[in-house]
Amino acid sequence: MQTNRYSQSRTQTNIDVGLRDHMQSVYNRMGLGVMVTALTAWVVSSSPDLMMLFLGGPQKWIVMLAPLAIVWFGFNPARMNSKQLMMAFLGVSFLYGVSFSVIALAFAGADIARAFFVTSIMFVGLSIFGYTTKKDLSAIGTFCFMAIIGVLVVSMIGLFVEYSSGFEMLLNIVVVLAFAGMTAWETQATKEQYNSAYGAEMNSRLAWSSALSLYISFVVMFSHILSLMSDR
């Protein structure tokens, strides 16, 4: 009886250590993506030639839509190995950085720093909540996903219809709240997906997938918090 309790306790300890390492891997990869995006935005915004190359003509639409294409069609953990997923993830991070170079030019450095700080604090708090809560957040995740779809539709209409500044502010708030909920749910889902029996390769694939989801939530929250905090 005592032996069985010792065995169960040791197994639980191994699971906890494995889960901790898995979550750390996810956040390290997500942080790498944020760093690539920030460095790319800084380098491109500092070079008029690079700005013209990437965003100086119709090719800007390719740059802006390419991350979505990679996420939807070029990022599949079921058929891609971890190295391929890593390359796709870094590609998305780089392309977001090129797009964000416009932010580096349009907004003051102090505004960017404040928005990044606020986003980071929110992200950490939401991730801790998603990791520690016992409540199933699936319903919240579904609701936030539907809200994001609705905002995307409204944003597409906004390409042809000019919205008032008040309505645009409301959209920014909705986006921040929706991706805040998604961050908590994604953290919980990342925790629940881990299984030491899957092996290193499969768990690495899941880690890249979770890192991408959390990365997207972070950069979207950052961009909309920046819009709310700045007068631009």
For the segment 17-35, the average pLDDT, to the nearest whole number, is 94
Residue 129 has pLDDT above 50, yes or no: yes
- The domains of the chain are located at 2-229
Residue 6 has pLDDT above 50, yes or no: no
Q: Which of 29-43, 44-58, 120-134, 199-213 has the lowest mean pLDDT?
A: 44-58
For residue range 179-222, list pLDDT tens digits in order: 999 999 999 999 999 998 899 999 999 999 999 999 999 999 99
Give the whole-angstrom CA distance, residue 115 versus residue 59.
28
pTM value surpassing 0.85 = yes
For the segment 29-49, the average pLDDT, to the nearest whole number, is 93
Residue 5 has pLDDT above 80, yes or no: no
For residue range 60-113, list pLDDT tens digits in order: 888 888 888 888 888 988 899 999 999 999 999 999 999 888 888 888 778 899
